[in-house]
Amino acid sequence: MKGGMTHSRPWKRLKGVTDLLDVLDAHLHRPVWWPAETPFEVCAGAVLTQNTNWRNAEKALARLRAEGLLDPAAIPRTGREELETLVRESGFYRRKAETLRVLASYINERHGGRVERLSLLPTSEARRELLSLRGIGEETADAILLYACGVPVFVADAYARRLFSRTGLASGNQSYSAIRKMTERELGGDAGALGRLHALVVETGKRFCRRNPLCGECFLSGRCATGRLLSEQQNGIAEHKDEE
């Protein structure tokens, strides 16, 4: 094989979620995540970042903060149109304003205005309560439980599902629930590790594991099935050119 390219890194399959966390920890500085000053600000951020990027959610959070509305007691007293205007930059603003109102009312009425009291419930019950609220899906519920309440759940968001699938830790058709439960089993109910893993997965997804992956730049390429496949394809093209 004259002039053929070789893999820049030897192929070494990830052994599991714990192995992935070790590799991410070794190569990335942990980002500050979830950025918030209070538990309810985590809740508001989890709602506002639905179907948008964090920059847009932050703009809406800043406007709510300026009006003193990052407080579950204040949200229900705010007029509908005013609340919609304040969160407009996060997109889907009518739906998100209503979800904030529903969530704040629930926290006030069920938990005395303190979202962190959700941690006193069995996790399955706390999740069930949140998921019963209009506009709260699995990802939002788990972000609230993990980052606002310190409950050991994993946020198996789109970044996690993509990275787990590409590295071979999960199949491409595994559900949110299946990936969440698998991760929680491996990390043994450690909320700190689950939060750190999610933050690092998001960072990896933003920098490298995008919809169109930057495998050639990614430190996981030697541990990732997708990175290996792309490397083999590129090597094959180079070898074919050399033979010509």
CATH number of the structural domain spanning residue 191: 1.10.1670.10
Same domain? For 146 and 42 the reply is yes
Same domain? For 92 and 175 the reply is no
Question: Residues 14-64: pLDDT tens digits?
Answer: 999 999 999 999 999 877 788 899 999 999 999 999 999 999 999 999 999
Instruction: Tell me: cis bond preceding 34? Omega within 30 of 0 counts.
Output: yes
Q: What does the alpha-carbon distance between residue 22 and residue 101 come to, in Å, rounded to a whole number?
A: 40
Nearest to 153 by CA among 130, 106, 121, 185: 185
Tokens 């950025």 belong to: 35
Question: Residues 68-93: pLDDT tens digits?
Answer: 999 999 999 999 999 999 999 999 99
Quote the number of domains for the chain: 2
Alpha-carbon dihedral sign for residues 70, 149, 176, 159: positive
Residue 228: predicted pLDDT: 84
- Residue 217 lies in domain: 1-30+153-244
CATH number of the structural domain spanning residue 45: 1.10.340.30
Same domain? For 175 and 81 the reply is no
* Mean pLDDT, rounded, for 206-223: 93
